[in-house]
Amino acid sequence: MKTNIAIFASGRGSNFLAIAKAIKSGRLRKANLAFLLCDNPDAPVISKAKKLKTKVVLIKPEAHTVKEDFENKVIRYLRENKIELIVLAGFMRILSRKFVSAYRNKIINIHPSLLPAFKGKEGIKDAYEYGVKVTGVTVHFVDEKMDHGPIIMQREVRIEGRDTLPSLENKIHKIEHQLYPKAIELLIDNKLRLKGRRILVKNQ
């Protein structure tokens, strides 16, 4: 039995592409990508999804008077497609407490730093400009706070003296594309157990 997942994205879609290809190649053999949900009609991720023949659900927030109406519509699609795991991949909206509670421990996100350091949308740039020698990538469960929630996996990325911001971004993205499918695989294979805010890996 495959696990139905939905990917939420707003931009380029490089992590969407990495996950979708992992599913199509059979590396994520127990995952079924039900649809891509996008809130931006101009996002490049939409064309990537269409090339892979992935269903695209476009919901424009500005078409809804209040945030709750937008999220209720999203939830309706999730329920209709029996979604068991929501994968945020560059989704540039903060989910409400009500939404997170409805899908507690079923929403994951990837962030380009070693959380809790360098939260926010400029995580790579902030780490580079601060001058740290090591940054990285974090996959975590989503809770009510931004870039918060129990950490599932992390991987370090060294910032070398010759690195520029673009070269560091490329290094980070390469790790993201490896780490995210692996984290999804562990979740689907039921090899992770959440105990409080700790993640325990089973059978490893």
Could you say which DSSP state residue 2 is in?
Answer: P
Clarify whether 64 is annotated catalytic. Answer: no
**Rounded average pLDDT over 159-184:** 97
Domains plus CATH for the chain?
Answer: 1-103 (3.40.50.170), 110-204 (3.40.50.170)
pLDDT tens digits, one per residue of 21-52: 999 999 999 999 999 999 999 999 999 999 99
What is the reported pLDDT for 66?
86
**Rounded average pLDDT over 158-163:** 96
What is the reported pLDDT for 190?
83
pLDDT of 192 above 80 = no
What is the reported pLDDT for 195?
62
Residue 197 vs residues 147, 152, 177: alpha-carbon distances, Å: 14, 10, 25
What is the reported pLDDT for 187?
92
Q: Among residues of the chain, what percentage have pLDDT more than 70?
A: 94
Q: Which is it for the CA torsion 119, 143, 90, 71, positive or negative?
A: negative
Q: How confident is the model at residue 62 (pLDDT cuts 50, 70, 90)?
A: confident
What is the reported pLDDT for 154?
95
pLDDT tens digits, one per residue of 71-111: 999 999 999 999 999 999 999 888 999 999 999 999 999 99
Task: Return the C-alpha torsion angle 106, 91, 65, 71, nearest 10.
Answer: -10
User: Given the structure tokens 């127990």, which residue do they identify?
Assistant: 30
User: What backbone phi and psi angles, to 5 degrees, belong to 168?
Assistant: -65, -40
Q: Which distant-in-sequence residues (6+ apart) come within 8 Å of 95 by Cβ? A: 71, 107, 142
What is the reported pLDDT for 200?
61
**Model's pTM, two decimal places?**
0.93
64, 111, 140, 173: which is the annotated catalytic residue?
A: 111
Q: What secondary structure, in 3-state letters, does 152-198 show?
A: EEEEEEECCCCCCHHHHHHHHHHHHHHHHHHHHHHHHCCCEEEECCE
**Rounded average pLDDT over 49-57:** 96
**Rounded average pLDDT over 129-152:** 94
**Rounded average pLDDT over 132-160:** 95
